[in-house]
Amino acid sequence: LPGWKIENSFFAFKPAGCDSDFGIKNLAGQGKFPELHFNIMIQRNVIDAFIRSMTPLIVAAFLMFLVILIMTKDPEKSKLSLEVGRTLAFAGSMFFVIILSHINTRGAISAQEIFYLEHFYFIMYLALLWTAVSSILFRADKVRLVHYKDNFVSKVLFWPVMLGYLFVVTMLVFY
């Protein structure tokens, strides 16, 4: 089994009642007869799954932060800054990468409810939305808070908000 490690295997007798008489009269329900069972103890290698799922998210998070970081109205630095259309195209491509990774992770872990790792994807969707809206508001010249020191508020709050959300989710899930 890929991604699993066999810890132990052994045979064991377990008492089991049978409602059948197997063709012998008065045999059904007489008692618990031992059955031979073969047991395999396996452990999942969660590090591989975690790294495989988290690598695209970490790369996407750093790229989104870089897009926010290079937003500027300074004419000398504006050669590095992205226009709104390019920022939205970037956000769309990152959305595609994250959604495919999310579908792959969801398919690999067959869970009916939202599991812990999915919260990482949810925060990435919010970060993508944050990047796109921040870019639009920055170019719109309508919101003064966004223009303070070339989008300083978004630059400073990006990592604390993302990691704070993950900290709260971790506390709620595990404690």
pLDDT in tens, 86-107: 778 888 888 998 999 888 888 8
Amino acid residing at 55? T
pLDDT at 43: 87
Structure tokens belonging to residue 13: 């007798």
C-alpha closest to that of 155 among 68, 63, 61, 60: 68
pLDDT at 9: 93
Q: Which residue has the higher pLDDT, 106 or 8?
A: 8
What is the pTM assigned to this prediction?
0.69
Measured N-to-C along each axis, helices 84-108 and 118-140 cross at an angle, to the nearest 10 degrees, of 170
- Burial grade of 95 (CB within 10 A; 0-12, 13-18, 19 or more): middle
Within a 10 A sphere around the Cβ of 82, how many other Cβ atoms?
Answer: 17
Distance CA 131, CA 65 (A): 8
Assess contact for 55 and 69: CB atoms under 8 A.
no
As a whole number, mean pLDDT of residues 147-164 equals: 84
Query: In Å, how far are 4, 101, 117, 119 from 95, measured between CA atoms?
Result: 30, 10, 17, 15
Q: State the pLDDT confidence band at 4, using cuts at 50, 70 and 90.
A: confident
- Burial grade of 97 (CB within 10 A; 0-12, 13-18, 19 or more): middle
As a whole number, mean pLDDT of residues 21-28 equals: 67
H or E element in which residue 133 lies: helix 118-140
The percent of residues in the chain predicted with pLDDT above 90, rounded, is 22
Q: State the pLDDT confidence band at 31, using cuts at 50, 70 and 90.
A: low
pLDDT for residue 82 is more than 70: no
The percent of residues in the chain predicted with pLDDT above 70, rounded, is 83
H or E element in which residue 164 lies: helix 152-174
Q: Which residue has the higher pLDDT, 149 or 8?
A: 8
